Amino acid sequence: MIKYDLHSHTQYSDGSLSVHALIALAIERGISHLAITDHDTVEAHLQLTKTNNSYVTEKINIIKGIELSSQWNNMGVHIVGLNIDIHSTAITTAVKHQTQLRIERVKTIAKKLLQRGFPDITQGAMILAGDGQVGRPHIAQHMVDEGLVSSVGQAFNKYLGAGKVGDISSVWPDLECVVEWINAAGGVAVLAHPSRYKMTRTKRRRLMADFSDAGGQAIEVCAGNQVPGVAEEMAAVCDEFGFHASVGSDFHNPDYKWVKLGQYPRLPKACRPVWELF
């Protein structure tokens, strides 16, 4: 049985599992094709190349991927790159660029929180990130650990989520730049979970048009924790713009019971699956 999950994360992003633990869980769940798409890094794939992964290749097909942060009309949007060359100049450049931007963003968020009366969260967040890419989840967890908020959810709802003081999207490269990186790496650019962005249908249509014009080839039609009816709506968008359709759980953490690896709505029959482009 062929079962795809083209959007999942390891501890090198803001996921909580090592790459080998993630793969073991995917095999347990019956997933046959897994794309590891960490935020702004391909470290998990680099780790796999350093180890004897013959067992992995016998049990599951690993698709090399990445999820790159970008901005469109001053709004943060995520672009997944699938079937990329992780050693390409484009991806090496992208990761180096995004890593620096993430460090700058944490410092900017820290300054804004300082203005709200919080202590400096920079070092704590960086320590939690370790060798991975530092992000808002690390800030949120540090705030919990220091007793500044009661939960990660509260940190996002009050300070770090969309529209809040810690929502800093202006640092990211433009959508066109990110799509160009992915295409130059021989990959397929996929607009991640488009239904989750808070915008009107008219604005979302403009986003789709700009993404298509930039060279984007697919959108994520089925994502984890997606409400009924969205897959059909996104399938209509695919038909309008000629996009292929991607699927993925957007799995980050086994403690998040509402998002499970390999679990997402069924892909509408009218869609052309993105793996046809691999």
pLDDT for position 46:
92
What residues pair up with 75 in beta bridges, in sequence order?
72
Delimit the domains of the chain by residue range: 4-95+174-277, 96-160
For domain 4-95+174-277, give the fold: TIM Barrel (3.20.20)
To the nearest 10°, the Cα dihedral for 191, 47, 60, 93?
30
The whole-number pLDDT of residue 49 equals: 85
pLDDT value for 83:
98
Sheet holding 61-72, edge to edge: 4-8, 33-36, 61-72, 75-82, 188-191, 218-223, 244-248
pLDDT of residue 132: 82
> What does the alpha-carbon distance between residue 93 and residue 266 come to, in Å, rounded to a whole number?
36
User: Residue 54's pLDDT is what?
Assistant: 54
4-95+174-277 with 96-160: one CATH topology? no
Cα–Cα distance, 180 to 174 (Å, whole number): 10
pTM for this predicted structure: 0.90
DSSP letters along 106-133, please? HHHHHHHHHHTTPPP-HHHHHHHHTTS-
Looking at residue 223, its amino acid is A
Give pLDDT, residue 131. 80
Quick: pLDDT tens for 28-77.
999 999 999 999 999 999 988 877 655 566 789 999 999 999 999 988 89
pLDDT at 267: 95
pLDDT at position 51 is 73
The low-confidence residues of the chain, meaning pLDDT below 50, are: none
Q: Which residues contact 159 (CB under 8 A, 6 or more apart)?
A: 113, 116, 143, 149, 165, 166
CA distance 179 to 88: 14
- In CATH, what is the architecture of 96-160? Orthogonal Bundle (1.10)
